[in-house]
Structure 1
Amino acid sequence: MRAEGAIGRDILANGTISDAKPAAPKQTPVEPEQGARGPKHLPTYELTTHDLPPGYQFEAWRNNFAPMLEFDEPDDVTVGFGGKQVTWDLGCLAFSRIETDALGFVSLPGHTRRDPLDHWTLTTLLYGCVNTIAPARTFEGSAGVVQVHTLGRPFEGNITNSEMLMLFVPRDFCTEVTGALNAAEFSNLSTGMGRLFTDYMIGLAKRLPVIDEAELPALVAATRAMILACASPSADHIEEAREPIASVLIERAHRIIQARLFDPKFGAESLRRELGVSRSRLYRLFEPFGGVMHYIQHRRLLDAHSALSDPTDQRRIIEIAEQHCFNDGTEFSRAFRREFGCSPTDVRSGQKADLPYKPATDLKAYAPEERFGVLLRRLHG
């Protein structure tokens, strides 16, 4: 929940709680991993209340967020308060991963705060629930739903024990984004495009620890395109976000396929329905992988290879084949040999226990939103 203006400051405004209390923790910079010629990773700041005595944890957490929110004090602060925040400085944006115990919050108008901030926050919960009371509406959010708040107007609410991802967007970030978020403020982006933005934020949280500063312009451009496509969907905005949207859809499709790997009824139509895309869009997404069904079979064969290579798995080959949706042993052996150049019996006997070797691809030349697709295409061969 920390806004751009707060990044890199001490947790407490004066650097200590008082002379009688332990020194306040500071926003600890995570030093970029940088060799003599290596990449420089993005500036990262980490804060946790767990380093403080229980009686001072809530005060530290409250002061950390004082530039943007006021927190209701719990009935008993002596029992401790759990909070952890990791923030990445993206230059003209900021991104945080936050874990917090349950609390109540209120945002005051900018002129009454010490640091008048007017940013938007786009928040998606990984678990937990939040209830917001805004001037014109009340809305609730749960895991997987993107919520839009503005720090320039008053609101209040409460949140359960939660983990969330939060993107901070300054008011002057982009004229088009300003219009889109003005229209969406104090609401849930619960459309199909909104759910895509949730997946995008989850992917962003995974990638940020390894992204270097040279990639930041492409990352910010992709994020801008995704905000517009999800908050104000139009043909132009969706086309502009085509590459990051495709990467998000492929990643989501991979998770769906992995979850339904052993379902013999699962196929292209099932995947299309779960992704919520048209047939033509689905086929275009999987064209680089040889088609939807080819990719699904490829994932099943990889999993079967892993089972056959496991010396503790004593099932018969036909049982493994049937689990992976092959009802005919001959068909399974034929498909397996096409994929790996050896038979299931060879792998089971240890003659071909290792998966085929492929050298790693240098992905630094690709924009961040393109890398997952490039990697999948390389794995596909």
Structure 2
Amino acid sequence: MRTDNGVSISPAFDPGFSPATLHSRPPRANTPAPVDTAMSPSVAGYTFSTDDLPVAERFDAWRRSFAPMLEVTRDARTEFQGSQALWDLGGLGFSRIKTGALRFSSHPAHVQCRPLDHWVMTLLLSGQCTTTTERSTFHGRPGIVQIHSLGRPYHGVVSDSEMLMLWVPRDFCRDMARILDAAEFTTLDTAMGRMFTSFMIGLAHQLTCMRIDELPRLMSATRDMILACVEPTDDRLEDESDAISGGLQERARQFVQMNLFNPRLSAKLLMRELAVSRTRLYRLFEPAGGVNRYIQHRRLLDAHSALANPREQRRILDIAEQRCFDSADFSRAFKREFGYSPSEVRKGKRIGAPNHADANLASLPPEDRLGALLWRLQSGAKSEIAPCCAIA
């Protein structure tokens, strides 16, 4: 198959990983394949197919897989089929997905309670996708990479499709945060953008035989390709003041994240760090409800992650105090933010919570692996292959 731009995107990258065999092949990639002990092990892949489930349970399992980032719905009159292949690359996630037609949405309440804020770079191999945001609507077609931001509201529809998806955490490369922010909700329909199409196809070719010790070079190459191919053009950056504001927002976000446990964290400290006036600072944080509201929100998210971590055995009070809350204020603020109490998260009563961020992906139900990997990438939890994948 060839796209409109002439790029070959044959759906069968290799005889062992074609759409036809993805559904029926044994899940050999759920654990690393046996290798010569003198060599680095291969990167593990994980498969999930709704064909393995009763018909009545298929779409619910698919919806559960995407629940940490999206709400998906479909026409109940049609039988649903979907399959995933997923790779944990240490600092990135990569997936190959085949899905039946569905509608998807990310709305403010969803973003607030499950605040994954990765970018996802999607290359359609077949099918069509339309996304509507607060500002515009854009259309995806085979052979052209689309960029979505999981931390912002949008909705859309996708036909029966097959796609490659690269999941990029916000902290993967801080130098390119402004670039990806400026390019979010666009398609890379340029000569350089089509180079990234070729890069993603090549990556899909090679992951089935890539070794873990090759991942640091892959991370570096991916970072360089994103910086080279997604550099915003003038029409993506409305004016220089937007670019400056984007850089300030990213610096502010990083500073707040690094100082969540600092009781002196405040608007005054941020003003000094960013070297901006109080008026400029409050304009930056106006969409988030103000500086103090943003700081509290990030502290509550961090507390939520800690409470959901089965390895975190400290008292709820200790977790709250570390994040500069007293016990009474913490419980009230937490319930107001998420709609449930800290103790409910601690007891595992909230299915949508990121309870699996530290789990071995092979040990999880197949429909939980994608969400677990994305939470791990966001929280900075230790990857199963993290010792090999640090990026300078």
TM-score by length of 2: 0.50
Report if aligned partners of 2:124, 2:163 keep a CA contact under 8 Å in 1.
Answer: yes
- Give the C-alpha shift of residue 33 in structure 1: 3.2
- What's the CA shift for 1:29? 1.8
Other-structure match for 1:40: 41
Q: Which residue of 2 aligns with 1:242?
A: none
Task: Specify the code of the residue in structure 2 equivalent to 1:135.
Answer: E
Residue 299 of structure 2 aligns with which residue? none
Structure 2 gaps of 5+ residues are 1-26, 234-392
Structure 1 residues 36 and 27, CA, compared in 2 at 3 Å: closer, same or farther?
closer
* SS of 1:183 mapped into structure 2: helix
Aligned pairs for 1:291-306 (under 5 A) are none
Residue 211 in 1 paired to residue 210 in 2? yes
Whether contact under 8 Å (1:110, 1:151) holds in the other structure is no
Query: What letter matches 1:84 in structure 2?
Result: S
- The structural deviation recorded for 1:233 is 6.9
- Alpha carbons 2:89, 2:215 under 8 Å: kept: yes
Structure 1 partner of 2:321: none
- Paired-residue identity, %: 48
Structure 2 equivalent of residue 184 of structure 1: 183
Q: CA deviation at 1:126?
A: 0.6
Whether contact under 8 Å (1:133, 1:157) holds in the other structure is: yes
In 2, distance between residues paired with 1:199 and 1:233? 19
Residue by residue over 1:10-33, the C-alpha shift from the partner in whole angstroms, topping out at 9 and shown as x without a partner, is xxxxxxxxxxxxxxxx99724333
2:167 maps to a residue whose letter is: F
Q: How big is the alpha-carbon RMSD for the aligned residues of Structure 1 and Structure 2?
A: 2.0
- Unpaired segments of 5 or more residues in structure 1? 1-25, 235-381
| 1:232 positional shift | 0.6
Larger Rg: 1
> Which AA in structure 1 matches 2:50?
T
CA–CA distance in structure 1, aligned partners of residues 95 and 147 of structure 2: 15
Cα deviation 1:260-284 (Å, max 9, x = unaligned): xxxxxxxxxxxxxxxxxxxxxxxxx
Bigger relative contact order, structure 1 or 2, given CA contacts below 8 A and separation 6+?
A: 2
For 1:106-255, what aligned pairs fall within 5 Å after superposition? Answer: 106-109=105-108, 112=111, 114-232=113-231
- 1:56–1:80 Cα contact (<8 Å) kept: no
Q: Supply the AA of the counterpart residue of 1:108.
A: H
Deviation at 1:75, TM superposition (A): 2.4
Amino acid at match of 1:124: L
Aligned residues: 207
Give the letter aligned to residue 174 of structure 1: C
Match of 1:157, SS state, is strand
Q: Which amino acid aligns with 2:60?
A: E
Q: Which amino acid aligns with 2:116?
A: L
Shift in Å, 1:159: 0.4
CA distance in 1 between counterparts of 2:28 and 2:35 reads 21
Q: Report if aligned partners of 1:177, 1:228 keep a CA contact under 8 Å in 2.
A: yes
1:51 aligns with 2:62: no
Runs of 4+ in 1 over 4 A off after TM superposition: 110-114
How far apart in 2 are the matches of 1:110 and 1:185?
20
Counterpart amino acid of 1:65?
F
Instruction: Say whether the 8 Å CA contact 2:111–2:152 is kept in structure 1.
Output: no
Deviations 1:287-339 (A, max 9, x none): xxxxxxxxxxxxxxxxxxxxxxxxxxxxxxxxxxxxxxxxxxxxxxxxxxxxx
Structure 1 residues 212 and 109, CA, compared in 2 at 3 Å: closer, same or farther?
A: farther
Cα offset for 1:172? 1.0
Equivalent AA in structure 2 for residue 196 of structure 1: M
TM-score with structure 1 setting the length:
0.52
- 1:195 and 1:50, CA in 2 relative to 1: closer, same or farther beyond 3 A? same
Amino acid at match of 2:214: E
The Cα offsets for residues 232-279 of structure 1, whole Å up to 9 and x where unpaired, read as 179xxxxxxxxxxxxxxxxxxxxxxxxxxxxxxxxxxxxxxxxxxxxx
| CA distance, structure 2, for counterparts of residue 204 and residue 108 of structure 1 | 32
Q: Residue in 1 aligned with 2:254? A: none
Contact 1:125-1:144 at 8 Å conserved across structures: yes
Aligned to 1:63: 64
